[in-house]
Each structure stands twice: as structure tokens, then as C-alpha cells.
Structure 1
């Protein structure tokens, strides 16, 4: 057995290793997406508005844990390496899904969200891994591939989850069908832990690590101060923050919203996620690279902001499910936002601070995830409970659209490229 800080059997870290890990992780997340709100609604006695409020609370607690622990794990990955932090995250996810399998009440779900929020730094640490093994001028492209891995997970995962919780499996295992997707997700998360333990190499060599773990940098306030110290990182971080708030609208209300407004069941919701996930993969694998070469990282960022703003607007106004689906190609342009943003931000810091940067981003994500569920779940429940707003169940999605129009304005102002700090050139690899 190898130590947690070294590459197994001396393997050289490469993009292909972290891509495989991120893919498996995203699938495990995706499996639970169409099922968790239904389980919450079941515990809430079938009341959609009450389920929206509970989902809001769970999302806010998850975000609070991200806000506190994201910077800690980011700074820790700069000190001891990316691999051990990823192992902690994968094992935490497996534990979380196990909780969901046996949860007898909403309070158990609450505990599971706390554990998940504490350990769910895998996406940000994976991005730091990408920055370690790719040169600055190719990072946007590889961040796009990482987005594709998440997109594929959210493409196939919800379909698997919908089938596992669907009528056929219910006829075989009865009421346990709604818990079965969590058992599968937990198994995938544990397999990812084993992959990390025995296969995944370390990407950050000891000579490039931070000399010590600094609690002043690891606390949320210190991580946000780091963004301020890096000049134009503040403007770019604001774009990401607005996007993260807006992006919370779909996890917060999508399943309940489409079920209420269009009468969709879990399988229809899963197939819709399959379609939108497929469009995301096409964008991230085939479009990001050419767009960045043609218009640069700033251009990709602006197109992504505009696509999100207009896509959310169309989603919120769509009176029928068919028109909602027709807006999916427009919203797919939002997949250009994160690669462009990550490429611009990673250029502004050296290799020893990539984990700190991603930890600060994770902290902002945590704040956004606290705000988002209250903003969107609250506005959705408010619209359902007030007759004057009953015709506007898409109100939370329209709020998300307004936030993205604001993000576009900030990106226009602060998205200009900055000089890259001196770093040792890494060889791009997909091995």
C-alpha cells in the first residue's frame, strides 16, 4: 500500500486520472438528483410547498458546511497534496449516501447533508489537480473537459436514478425502490475511494507545496481576503458567485417545479436531465476549445453568462413542458462560463496557491448555496401559497435570470486577461 501523499507505484499525474475520478464522482451525484426531492416530499406528507421549504433548509445547511470546510480542504490540499483530500471527500460521500439509504426521518437527512457538505470538496480539489498538470494556456480547454465529466455524470446518473426508483423496480423491491438509488450512489462513491487509494497519483510534488498549514488562510474570512489580495480576482470571483447563486435554482426547485407546472413524473424528469446533460457534454467537449481559441477565455465567459441569463428567462416563462425543453439548447451555452472563468482565475496565481484559490471559490459556493435555497425555494413556496402569484410558479427561475444579467455586466468589466504568474510549465497529458 502506498502513502496518501505519494503517487501509487510512481505514476506520473496526468489529466486522464483525475477525469476518470471526477466522472465516477459525478455519476454518483447524478443518481440521487431526481430522487432526493421525492424522498423529502414523502417525509413531508406529500405537500409540495413543505417539501420545497425542507429542501431549502437542507441546501442552506450544505452550503454552510461548504463555506466553513471548503477553504480548510483547499489549503490542506496545498500542504499535503490533492490526493489525500480527494480520498477524504470520496469516503465522506459514501458515508452520506449510506445515511440516505436508511434515513427514517427528515432529521437523518439533515445529518447526511451536514456530512456531505463537510467533505464535498472533490470538485474544487479536482480543479486544482487540473491546474497542476496543465499549462496555463490550455487550462480553459481542460476545465471544459472536467465540466464534461460532470455533465456526463448528470446525464447518465439521473436516468439510472429514475429507473431504479421507477415502477419496474418498485414492483420488485416495493417501497425500498426510492432508497435504491442512494445505495447505488454510495457504492459508486466507495469505488471512487478505492480508485483514489490504489490508482490515482498525486499531482502536486512536495517541492511545490505550501511549507505549512496556516489556519489564517484556511478559515472562510481568510480565504475571501485572499481573493481581495489578488487584484482582479475579486471581480471574476463575483461573476462566479452570482452564477453559483443562480445555478442553485435548478437543484432547489427543478423537480418540484416541473412536477407542479407540467405534471412530469420522475422518469420524465430524468429523461429531461439526460437531454440537458447531453447538450452540456457536447458544449464542453466539442465547443469550449474552438470558442476559447476564437474569442478567448473572456469571450467564452461572456457567452456563457448570456446563455445562462436568456436560458433561465425562457425556462421561467415557458407555459408548457415542450417549450421548456425547446429552451435547453440556449441554456446549454452556459457551459462556456465555468471553463472561461476558471481559465482566467487560475492564470492569476502560482502552483502553490491553486488549492487556496479553489478553496476560496468553494467558500463562495458555500455562501451561494446558503443564499440560493432560501431565495429560490422560498420564492417558489411563496408563489404556490399566494393566489395572486399562482400563475407565476417560474418566479425563482426568473430571479436567477436577473442575477445572470448582472453577472454578464460584471464579466464585461472584469474579465480582461491578466499576466500569468511565473510557473513551471507542465506537459499537457490525457493519459
Structure 2
């Protein structure tokens, strides 16, 4: 069993790695419309489609490499995989900052997708350092890292973007290099030698990893709910900056501020509300609550025809952040310690499929209902489509994922440990 001191240190360090990585991802979002328009000469609506293809390449690399990286981490440990990924991410951002053409961005996105596949290893690290009493709460660290990272990153990116659309990419590269140096000296190894297993190529590819998950009863339905949940969330990086610039006429700074508020609310939910809700409702009911609020949020963004309404939707539906951590915990509880990296790699492959499909689907929907040639002008159409996907996820979750009873009153304090 992992020593408590190492477990705590591993949780803190993997949180910091995720947090700084997310800032590096989010810092470039406010300038994407201007940066892509500068490189391609396209309008905002067409630049959204250009951005969708870049996201597709990024996600395709994650889909291909996440099982490989997850299986490598089950064999060699979490630390070397995480270090390699952070360094690769730094190189990616430097390439994008120096890009002289739209096609050079694809090189950077290939590297970013490979490095981003290590989110599976970060999740496996959290599983290594957790047990049944605190797994859901610890997986909440992922949401907190994403929430706070997306709160800070877009604001920084919006401010840096005022000096030029390339400046945030240089900032992201510098941040990633600092992240690598920090992790090199501080990150511990959390996978014990007795929990490591032989590397097998047959299990280190997307289809093999997904097929292997069939050996664990009930995890297929949880995977389908994750697929629909992540598919709907692909709408945010795909069209948020473009809808904001087109529908509300927001500047880079205003786009960054809106994403920052979104991230702050998500971080508060994950850091303050989630640890108090799970002991009362249990993981299943907490996940259902998050899924329902996700559906409501997407309907809200589709209907928000004025900018101030976006902030109202964020505040009223921020409980959507409750879904991810308990779903991860439900899945992690179904596999042994030696397969956590493989599980997280398979889940990352599912997530990558959604981020391959999502940007193409949602940017095409947005572009088709925007601009002068649109048969019906409705810039919120992509959000509406995403609401339908997560609504299906709610139905699958209720019908196919067994509901466990909420914790007994005497057990509720255990989750707080």
C-alpha cells in the first residue's frame, strides 16, 4: 500500500501539473479567432471551422496514444510518463508561437495531442493515491485543476492577446517549461513495484484497451455515459470564443473574462460543494445531479441572446461540475490497481473520440447557422445540439448504471479524510 505521505505528495504534485497544463491550454483560447483569421485570412465563422480541424488532429493523437501511454505508465510508473508529456507540451506551444502558416499549427497540435494523452496517467496517479473512502473527492482535484486553470488561463490570455495573438502561445510555452522543471524535482512515483504489470501491445492500442474493459462488468454503460457527457462538453472549446465574438461582439479580453468566470464557478463546485454533496447523496446521485445541470446549462447558452445572460447561465447552472468526479470514481472502483492506467487510457480514448467528433460537429453546426448564407440565423445551434447529447446520457445513466444507496450517516465523515 502506498505510504500516506507519498500519496498526499503525489496528489498535490499531479494537481499542480494539471493546473499549469490547463492554464497553458486555456491561455490561447481568447486569441484563437484573431490568430486563425490572421493566418488564413478567413472570417470568424470560417475560422471556427479551421479551429475545429486543429482540435480534430489534437484529439486524434490523444485517441491513438492514450492507451499506449496509459499502459506504459502501468509498466514503468507514472513519473517518467508525466515528465515526458509536460516537456512535449512546451515544445508544441513554441512551434505554434513561431508558426508562419496555418499548416504549421498542425505539427504543434500533433505534439500537443500526444502530450495531452498523459491526462490518463494523471488520473491513474490519483487512483494510486486513493481508496474507496476518498476516491471521488480526490478525483475532484481534476475538476478543480480544470476549473481554476480555465479561470486564470483565459484572463491571462486575453490580457496577453492585447499585445498580439502570438504572445499567449509564448506565455504557454514558458509556463510548460517551468512546469517541467518543477515536476522534475518534486514529483514522486505513486505506482508500487508489486502493482506494475507486463507491457502488452495488444492492450496498448485504442481498440485493444476498449475491448479489455469488457472484462469488468458494468463499465461499458459508464463508458457510454462518459462518451455522451464529454461529447457535449466538446462544444465549449469548439465554439465558445467564436460565438462570443460573433453573437455578442466581445473582445479577446471579454472572452477571457467569461471563460474565467466559468472556471471559477467550476472550481468552487469541485473544491467546496462536491466534498460535501458526495457524503450525503452518494456518487450515483451526485453524478446524476451534475448531468441534469449540464443539460440545463447547454439549453441556457443556446438561449442567451445577450452577453449578460451568459453570466447568469454560468451562475445558475454551475452544479454541472458535479458529474465528472463521481463518474470517474464509479469507473475506477470496477478495476484493480494494476489496470488503472489502462482504464484511464481507455477513458481518454473515449474522450478523444468525442473531441474528434465534437469540434467537427459543433463548428459545422455553428458555421451553418451563422453568417450571411445561413438558412436560419441561430448562433446558439451548437449548444442546443450538445444539450441533446447529454440528455441522452442522462437517460442511459438512469436506465443502465445501478444506483447505490447514499452513505449511512455514520459513514459520511470518512469521505472527508
TM-score over 0.5 (shorter chain) = yes
- The within-5 A match list for 1:212-231 is 212-231=198-217
**Secondary structure in structure 1 of the residue aligned to 2:335:** coil
Among 185, 193, 202, the residue aligned to 1:198: 185
The answer on 1:44 being equivalent to 2:31 is: no
CA distance in 2 between counterparts of 1:404 and 1:98 reads 35
Q: Deviations over 1:185-215 (max 9, x none)?
A: 11111111112211100000111111x1101
Of the three residues 319, 327, 337, the one matched with 2:305 is 319
1:241/1:200 CA distance change after superposition, 3 Å:
same
| Cross-structure match for 2:174 | 187
Distance in 2 of aligned mates of 1:399 and 1:69: 29
**Which of 233, 238, 241 is residue 247 of structure 1 equivalent to?**
233
Equivalent pair of 1:227/1:237 in contact (CA under 8 Å): no
- Structure 2 residue 261 is the aligned partner of structure 1 residue 265: no
Give 1:13 shift.
4.7
Which residue, 128, 148, 165 being the options, matches 1:178? Answer: 165
Distance 2:121 2:35 in 1: 30
Residue 148 of structure 1, CA deviation: 0.6
Aligned to 2:267: 281
Cα RMSD (Å) of the superposition?
2.1
Q: What corresponds to 1:154 in structure 2? A: 150
* TM-score, scaled to structure 2: 0.93
SS at match of 1:213: coil
Instruction: Note if contact 1:208-1:352 (Cα within 8 Å) is conserved in structure 2.
Output: yes
| CA–CA distance in structure 2, aligned partners of residues 377 and 260 of structure 1 | 13
1:387 CA drift (Å): 4.6
- Which of 19, 22, 28 is residue 23 of structure 1 equivalent to? 19
Matched-pair contact (CA < 8 Å) for 1:312–1:331: no
Q: CA deviation at 1:146?
A: 2.4
Q: CA deviation at 1:389?
A: 4.0
* Residues 302-329 of structure 1: CA deviation (Å, up to 9, x unaligned): 0111111110001001111111221112
Once residues 7 and 333 of structure 2 are traced to their aligned partners in structure 1, the CA distance between those partners, rounded to angstroms, is: 26
Partner residue of 1:350?
336
Gaps of at least 5 residues in structure 2 are 406-413
Query: What TM-score does the superposition give when structure 1 sets the normalisation length?
Result: 0.90
Structure 1: runs of 5+ lacking an equivalent: 1-6, 171-176, 420-426
Q: 1:143 aligns with which of 95, 120, 139?
A: 139
Matched, 1:394 2:380: yes
Aligned: 1:207 with 2:194: yes
In structure 1, what is the equivalent of residue 114 of structure 2? 118
Per the alignment, residue 238 of structure 1 pairs with 224
Q: 1:351 to 1:13 in 2, by over 3 A?
A: farther
1:137-192 deviations in Å (ceiling 9; x for gaps): 211111112211221111011111111111xxx3xxxxxx2111111111111111
CA shift in 2, pair 1:406/1:12, >3 Å? closer
Q: Which residue of 2 aligns with 1:371?
A: 357
Are the aligned partners of 2:287 and 2:323 in contact in 1 as well (CA < 8 Å)?
yes
CA contact (8 A) 1:14 1:429 kept: no
2-structure distance, mates of 1:365, 1:388: 30
- Measure the CA separation in 2 of the matches of 1:119 and 1:14: 19
1:409 Cα shift? 0.8
Q: How many residues align?
A: 405
State how far apart, in whole Å, the 2-side matches of 1:428 and 1:188 are: 34
**What residue number does 2:94 align with?**
98
Cα distance in 1 between the residues matched to 2:59 and 2:288: 26
Q: Distance in 1 between matches of 2:216 and 2:88?
A: 32
Seen in structure 2, the aligned counterparts of structure 1 residues 12 and 149 have a Cα distance that, compared at 3 Å, is: closer
Query: How far apart are residue 49 of structure 1 and its match?
Result: 2.2
**Whole-angstrom CA distance in 2 between matches of 1:156 and 1:72:** 31
Contact conserved, 2:8 with 2:129, CA < 8 A, in 1?
no
Per-residue CA distance 1:331-354 (angstroms, 9 max, x = gap) = 311111111101101100111111
User: Any idea what SS the aligned residue of 1:204 has?
Assistant: coil
Contact 1:100–1:108, Cα closer than 8 Å, also in 2: yes
